[in-house]
Chain A
Amino acid sequence: MRDKTMTAAEVAAQVADGMTVGIGGWGSRRKPMALVQALLDSPVRGLTVVSYGGPEVGMLCAAGKVAELVYGFVSLDTIPYDPNFQRARQSGQIAVRELDEGMLHCGLQAAAHRLPFLPIRAGLGSDVLRLNPGLKTIRSPYGGEELVAMPALELDVALIHLNRADRHGNGQYLGPDPYFDDLFCLAAKHRFLSCERIVPTAELIAGGPPQSLLTNRLMVDGVVEAPGGAGFTSCVPDYERDESAQRRYYEAAIS
């Protein structure tokens, strides 16, 4: 089996200007911050970022990497708003496609299933349709209900962080929530997983129930060992969010 181990810098080198990058995790939870840092350290620009947004969105905006953001929200969880994201929005620095968070899920699902769209009720009646004139509705051929035709959110690159993985791309989450990391991988052409620890495959099986094996080999192209690689966001049970580090990020961003 292929050895897919690589460095975070090697991951960043595969991200080209203008690509669409999906980032796993949720808010300030299990974000692939080591991979994001590698993007910040690289010269890449003009990215379209798709995310349940946390501090990585603010950081990428502050570094001028983001041309467009596709999101339902951006939050630091214990701090409601990310100041760097606010500044990027309030200065008109980035284009946005703001969606209901269920629509984001739906668009990733459509891409994962290689469908052009999936119907969803969320968005109807709200300004999501007014603010995204590219979004179309579709009438059910069985009885006529009108629904949003959520287009597939096809990604060039997916970046996720898990607790454990083997060197072939079998990945494991050990906390209570998988978030949508598997879906980000299935929606993307190039999929990179960082993890707290690379372990032999047998250790994955010993380390948690079969349901904890979130990614398999066909969903992952590169594996990066990055202990602490989600920090300062949470990566339970390995570590909780580093609230004081997050607070320092916040203070630096507002000053």
Chain B
Amino acid sequence: MAILVIAEHNNSALNPATLNTVGAASAIGGDIHLLVAGSGCAAVAETAAKIAGVSQVLLADDAAYAHQLPENVAPLIAGIAPSYSHVLAPASTNGKNYLPCVAALLDVDQISDIIAVLSADTFKRPIYAGNAIATVRSSALIKVITVRTTAFEAVAAEGGSASVEAVAALADSGKSSFISEDIAKSDRPDLGSAKVIVSGGRGLLSSDNFQLLYTLADKLGGAVGASRAAVDAGFAANDLQVGQTGKIVAPDLYIAVGISGAIQHLAGMKDSKVIVAINKDPEAPIFQVADYGLVADLFEAVPELTQAV
């Protein structure tokens, strides 16, 4: 049986997380179909049809799906799911929102945030803030899974030639309605897919000082992240938070500036390829995971580093 992947998009563009989720589906093996549910999203379906390895795109284009409200999207997916062995979605806030509803409607347990596929029914996933890795086997007829996208290679966005088939929409549940959205606009790469992340903590002392990190990040073509302490102190926006309860990232280079390295923060970044810590406290736990540690005052070291790269 084929695998259904739910595409992540904003009705006009496909989110790259979809390519990593298709990567996880390829690791399971089998025909891969992609569901694009949204409003006015035909262009997204056309883009999706070109993804390498996707053999069919299902397009559910209806006003009810404009904002992926789970009350509308979950019954749609649960209705289609019985034709599939696996239903996969990225472990984004969107996927985490609707997919457990799908699992409950299908009366199966969901497997959250997988980081490895061992076989078609056995997967690895982190628990306890990444301090343990569980191997779980599912006997469910339909395996409902969210994918930690940083753990899987993206498949090529080009090279496929899937057909696009329209799926009939279901009625709007009327239980919830969209009011507004406030999406932070940024020219910098998305935190989830950036190759380089410069992240700041409480040590930055103010939101103005975060500018130091932005200047460095721009020089490296990277994104800026933050620890919970920095977010709580109002130095950085909530959506920049890296950690167990924020974003899980795994860039090539993660530069932690003024971050002590609490368990909850490490949960979000310790799979980065190279970790650099800049902290004036030589005992800070961040140095235990850092490949390169620099014990220094960040207000001197960061501008110097920006100059040097």
Are A and B associated in one complex?
Answer: no
Interface residues of A (CB under 8 A from B): none
Interface on B for A, CB 8 Å cutoff? Answer: none
